[in-house]
Structure 1
Amino acid sequence: MNFEGKTALVTGASRGIGRAIAHELARQGVQKILLIARNPQRLADVVTEIEYLNAEAIALSLDLADPVSVNVAIANAWRQHGPIHLLVNCAGVAHQAPFLKTRLPHVQTEIATNLVGLYTITRLIARRMATRREGHIVNVSSLMGKVAAPTMATYSATKFAILGFTQALRGELAPYNVKVAALLPSLTDTDMVRDFQWFRWVKPATPEQVAQALIRGLHRGTPEILVDWQSQMALWCQRLSPWLLDRVVQQASPLPDRPLPLR
């Protein structure tokens, strides 16, 4: 993909991986970047950072779980700032807990943002890209979309779903010259996970490393973009010896040694 002079839209852009991707796109020559997140103050900070990198930035404070607001905002944004050549769906939330201790509101929040929000905005942008016969869509999944993780059951489920959605969309939009890829970061050192119990033996990536991997993958046209050697090794292990990977994941997980009381 040639980034020069293009317009991109990044969701979850106020922090972590989304913020790093917005920065990297500006460095690659993207002319205009639309930034979506819920926190207007954090978005304002990112706008300043992007403009310092000589790109135009537009903040759209939105909750992707509100489809009516998203529909109105995207229609206005496309009319005022479009066409959008690249959509990066990075918005996501995660709650860590053993499945038997999960709380339904947390489950609903993860599904609403990670899946329904992604679906809503992708549908709005993809229809417009298909009409123009051009565009790139990147859905940020996770290595947990390939290798499910104990204590992250709902998050893993949403990330598996994103990979299936991405694969189906890739085939459907190919006749319209719209390319669709998935980005699969492993554990990344962001605000979202700093209070989590981390998995043993996993070295976290930085958001900047994830953003750079995305750029490399878009240049190569890679349909599923992995970030580091840990991800490569995990997927090879899954293909060649899934029982061994299951054992390693179980040993690395932060689950307690003894069963939890259910009351």
Structure 2
Amino acid sequence: MKLQGKTALVTGASRGIGRAIAHELAKQGMQKVILVARSQDRLLMVAEEIEAMGTEAIALPLDLTQTVDVNIAIANTWKQHGPIHLLVNCAGVAHQSPFLQTKLPKVQEELSLNLMGIYTMTHFLARRMASKKEGRIVNVSSLMGKIGAPTMATYSATKFAILGFTQALRSELSPYNIKVTALLPSLTETDMTHNTQRFRGVASMTPEKVAKVLVDSLGKESPEILVGWQSHLAVLGNRLAPGILEWCLKLTAPKSDKQPMKKPIFSRSF
């Protein structure tokens, strides 16, 4: 995909991988980048950084879980700024907790943003891309979308679901000349990961490296983009020796001093 003269929309663009992707797209000559996240102040800061690189930037503060607001905003943005050629779905949230201590509101937040947020944005933009017979969609999953991680059950579930969603869309949207790809970074140094317990022995990478790998891969037809040698090794190990990989995960997973609940949350049977 040639970036010159094209417009991209990046969700989760106020920080972390999303911000780094927006920067890398600007460096590589993208004409216009639309930045989506909930924090208007952070978006405006990123927009200034993008503008300093010579690329037009539009800050679009949105809560992706609000379907009506997203629909209206996308319709207006398409009308005011022209067709969007590249969609990068990067917005997401992760809450780390042993499964038996998970809290339902946090589970619902992960499901709502990580899954429904991607679905909503993709649905509204893909229909417009289809009318133009042109588009590229990148859904940011994770290595945890290939290998379920202890203490990250809900997050892993959403990232597995993103891969299934991506695979389904790849076939369904290909007649409209829309290419759909999944990006699978491993542990990345972001604000989100700073608040989680680390898996022992897992090397981290920078958001900038993830962004560089993605942008360099846009000209290829790869259905999935793995980032980092550990990701490739883990996926290969899961394919050839899943039992050994699961044993390794148990050894490297964060330890919890919390004890399982002795009583069920609900005493009534359903």
Amino acid at match of 2:259: L
Which residue does the alignment assign to 1:255? Answer: 255
For the Cα contact (< 8 Å) 1:150–1:255, is it kept in 2? no
The one-letter amino acid paired with 1:146 is K
- Runs of at least 4 residues of structure 1 off by over 2 A? none
Secondary structure of the 1:174 match is helix
1:207 — aligned with what? 207
Mapping 1:236-247, distance limit 5 Å: 236-247=236-247
Aligned equivalent of 1:139: 139
Instruction: Tell me, in whole angstroms, the C-alpha distance in 2 between the residues paired with 1:57 and 1:194.
Output: 28
Paired position in structure 2 for 1:159: 159
2:94 alignment partner in structure 1? 94
SS at structure 2 position matched to 1:192: helix
Q: How does 1:25-174 map to 2 (within 5 A)?
A: 25-174=25-174
Aligned to 2:235: 235
What percentage of residue pairs aligned between the two structures are identical? 63
> 2: CA distance between counterparts of 1:10 and 1:259?
38
Q: Structure 1: which 5+ runs fail to align?
A: none
Structure 1 residues 200-238: Cα deviation after superposition (integer angstroms, max 9, x where no partner): 000111000000110122122211001110000001101
Q: Which runs of 5+ in 2 are unaligned?
A: 263-270
SS of the equivalent of 2:59 reads strand
Aligned residue pairs total 262
Aligned alpha-carbon RMSD (Å): 0.9
Please give the secondary structure, in 1, of the residue aligned with 2:192.
Answer: coil
Partner of 2:97, secondary structure, is coil
Give the deviation of 1:165 after TM superposition: 0.1
TM-score by length of 2: 0.95
Partner amino acid for 2:181? A
Conserved in 2, the CA contact under 8 Å of 1:34 and 1:58?
A: yes
Deviation at 1:83, TM superposition (A): 0.1
- Give the TM-score of the pair, scaled to structure 1: 0.98
Deviation at 1:261, TM superposition (A): 3.7
SS at match of 1:147: coil
| CA deviation after TM superposition for structure 1 residue 198, in Å | 0.5
Counterpart residue number, 2:267 = none
Q: What is the CA distance between 1:19 and its match in structure 2?
A: 0.1
What is the CA–CA distance in structure 2 between the aligned matches of 1:48 and 1:94, rounded to whole Å? 28
